[in-house]
Every structure is written in structure tokens, then in C-alpha cells.
């Protein structure tokens, strides 16, 4: 069923909210990646308070097991290899998002793609958990990166839709007021 003309959003609109949302999320992703890699670097350079603050912050989201983490400068990343993949995949896909889809497009792909992207991570986890496969840093990172990069295709449209929601309501109210005058 075609959309009504009232729901049409011109691609040439001057509304900058989708760009601002994308910019904010991109900067946030880059800051998070810098913090993940910056924690061991800070520790190696003697900035113990900063490093501990970063490790402590990420401890709420990751188990931080050293045998499952990448190392740099002799110290482990602030998150494990799988979480590093999730964050890195999300950050790279966020950077590339405007090349993949228009920023104003607020409809996500079919959910099956998200489940398909999660399947390799789940398989890698469960095969390792049951001792059928010895997963590696690389398998953890790659499966996490796949899921993280696909997740962007669901998170960004949701955030963009939320940013435009008030605007859509205002336009709808104006159009209904105009149609009542006719």
C-alpha cells in the first residue's frame, strides 16, 4: 500500500537532525574505541588513575578476562576480544552508514538479517562453551564485529526516527489544521 502524501519527506529538506544524530553517534563510537585502546596505553604510560577509571567503566559491560582479551603495550584492552569486535564493528559501520543508506531513511531492514548476523556469534560461543570448538581471539572479534556492524542498521534508523518524530507530529498537525480550514 503506498504511503500518503503527508508522510513524504523530501530528501532535500533543510532539517539537519539526522545528520546531527549520525555525527553524535559517530563521535561517541570513536570516543568509546579510543577508551578501549587507551586504557592499556594509559596504564603503560603511568596514568594509573585514568586507566583504572576506564577499566572500571567497561567492567560493567564486559567480563574483561585476560585470556580472552587483546593486549597492547603489555596490558589488556578494556574489554574482551568479542566486545572489542562488537564496538569496532559498530564504529566502522557507523562511519560508513551515510554511504550505505540515506540518513533520512528511518526504516530498518528485515529483522532476520539481525538474527543471521547474531548466529555466527552464538555458534562460536556455544561450540566453545560445550567444548566442541576452541574459539580464538580472531573468531570472537570477527563474530562480534559482524553483529556490531549489522546492529547499526537497526540502531541508527531508530535514533533518526526518534529525532524526526516531533517534527512529523508538527507537520501532521499543520496539515490537519489546513485541511480543517478547507
Q: What was the pLDDT predicted at 105?
A: 87
Helix (H/G/I), strand (E/B), else coil: 99:
helix
| Segment (H or E) for 70 | none
Q: Which residues of the chain have pLDDT under 50?
A: none
Q: What was the pLDDT predicted at 175?
A: 61
Cα–Cα dist 27/170, whole Å: 29
- Please report, for residues 18, 126, 151, 169, the alpha-carbon distance to residue 158 in angstroms, rounded to integers and kept in the order given: 11, 30, 11, 16
Q: Give the distance from CA 14 to its chain's centroid.
A: 26
Q: What was the pLDDT predicted at 10?
A: 57
N-terminal to C-terminal alpha carbon distance within the chain: 27
Cα–Cα dist 93/169, whole Å: 30
Q: What was the pLDDT predicted at 80?
A: 97
Q: What was the pLDDT predicted at 9?
A: 54
The CA R_g of the chain, rounded to the nearest whole Å, is 21
91, burial (CB in 10 Å: exposed 0-12, middle 13-18, buried 19+): buried
pTM, 2 dp? 0.82
Q: What was the pLDDT predicted at 171?
A: 62
Cα–Cα dist 166/105, whole Å: 16
Cα–Cα dist 91/152, whole Å: 9
pLDDT tens figures, 78-102: 999 999 999 999 999 999 999 999 9
- For the chain, what is the largest distance between any 2 Cα atoms, rounded to a whole number of angstroms? 73
- Show the cell assigned to 111: 529483522
Amino acid at each position: 500500500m503506498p504511503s500518503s502524501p503527508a508522510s513524504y519527506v523530501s530528501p532535500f529538506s533543510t532539517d539537519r537532525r539526522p545528520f546531527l544524530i549520525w555525527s553524535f553517534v559517530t563521535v561517541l563510537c570513536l570516543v568509546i574505541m579510543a577508551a578501549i585502546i587507551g586504557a592499556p596505553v594509559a596504564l603503560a604510560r603511568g596514568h594509573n588513575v585514568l586507566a583504572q577509571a576506564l577499566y572500571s567503566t567497561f567492567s560493567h559491560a564486559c567480563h574483561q578476562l585476560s585470556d580472552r582479551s587483546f593486549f597492547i603495550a603489555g596490558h589488556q584492552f578494556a574489554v574482551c576480544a568479542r566486545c572489542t569486535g562488537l564496538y569496532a564493528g559498530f564504529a566502522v559501520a557507523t562511519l560508513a552508514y551515510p554511504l550505505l543508506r540515506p540518513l533520512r531513511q528511518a526504516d530498518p531492514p528485515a529483522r532476520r538479517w539481525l538474527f543471521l548476523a547474531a548466529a555466527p556469534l552464538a555458534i562460536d560461543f556455544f561450540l566453545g562453551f560445550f567444548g566442541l570448538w576452541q574459539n580464538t581471539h580472531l573468531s570472537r572479534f570477527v563474530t562480534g564485529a559482524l553483529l556490531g556492524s549489522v546492529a547499526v542498521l537497526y540502531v541508527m534508523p531508530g535514533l533518526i526516527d526518534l529525532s524526526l518524530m516531533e517534527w512529523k507530529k508538527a507537520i501532521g498537525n499543520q496539515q490537519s489544521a489546513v485541511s480543517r480550514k478547507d
